[in-house]
Amino acid sequence: MCVCQKDCRGDSFGLETPVGEVRQNGTTMIWTVDRLTEWDTYLICYYNTDDGDQCTSTVDITIYQPPESVSISFVNHTGMMFENQQYTLQCSVQNVAPVQSLTVTFYRGNTALGHLQSNSEQKKPVNETFTLNITPSREGDGAQYWCEAKLELGPAGSQRPPVVTSEKLPAIVHCESERNKDVL
């Protein structure tokens, strides 16, 4: 992959970096970093021509941090739920970057209920909350709700993106007919 080449040609070339070590092997430059904590970082590639001119290009760097933790809860609700009433599930993801590469999926048992992504363009680690409205039915009694946060690493990333799941939240759904029976 030629990340440094634009329309630049020159006999000498190099890489300017804020941290780390650059090794050059022929026309290949290898940048090695032990730890990177500068979230808005980039590299500058340069080519020096025989005439003394310099051509530069910038290579943006994306630093990924998998979610530290993921939790699920109901918004403003505890206890039993009633059939055909709407409730809001909330999935809280802690300390993830970049959040725009995160996909959150809500589940009931093994069934995916919805996939959500953030609109934020923040590159630094953030805490983000996602919500999904649900309307339980009698078939949902005893089901377990949970959410999963998956950090997509892009085309050059690892084969398996980091995935962190929440605990499972059991649902007790009372049916309309049961509620009416209690009134009689």
Q: 118 and 39, same structural domain? A: no
Q: 55 and 75, same structural domain? A: no
Do 134 and 144 form a contact (C-beta atoms < 8 A)?
Answer: no
Q: 159 and 92, same structural domain? A: yes
Is residue 112 in some structural domain?
A: yes
Q: 78 and 40, same structural domain? A: no
CATH number at residue 133: 2.60.40.10
Is residue 17 in some structural domain?
A: yes
Q: 140 and 102, same structural domain? A: yes
Would you give the distance in Å from CA 44 to the centre of its chain? Answer: 27
Strand 126-134, strand 87-96: pairing = antiparallel
In angstroms, rounded to a whole number, what is the distance separating the alpha carbons of residues 44 and 96?
Answer: 26
Give yes or no for residue 182 having a pLDDT over 80. Answer: no
Report, as an integer, the average pLDDT of 99-120.
95
> Looking at the 3D structure of the chain, how many domains does it have?
2
Per-residue model confidence as pLDDT tens digits over 26-57: 777 888 888 877 788 888 888 887 777 888 88
Report, as an integer, the average pLDDT of 74-85.
84
Is residue 89 in some structural domain?
A: yes
Q: CB-based burial of residue 47 (10 Å sphere; 0-12 exposed, 13-18 middle, 19+ buried)?
A: buried
Is residue 2 in some structural domain?
A: no
In angstroms, rounded to a whole number, what is the distance separating the alpha carbons of residues 154 and 158?
Answer: 8
Is residue 47 in some structural domain?
A: yes
Q: 52 and 122, same structural domain? A: no
Is residue 4 in some structural domain?
A: no
Report, as an integer, the average pLDDT of 171-176.
74
Top-confidence residue, 61 or 112: 112
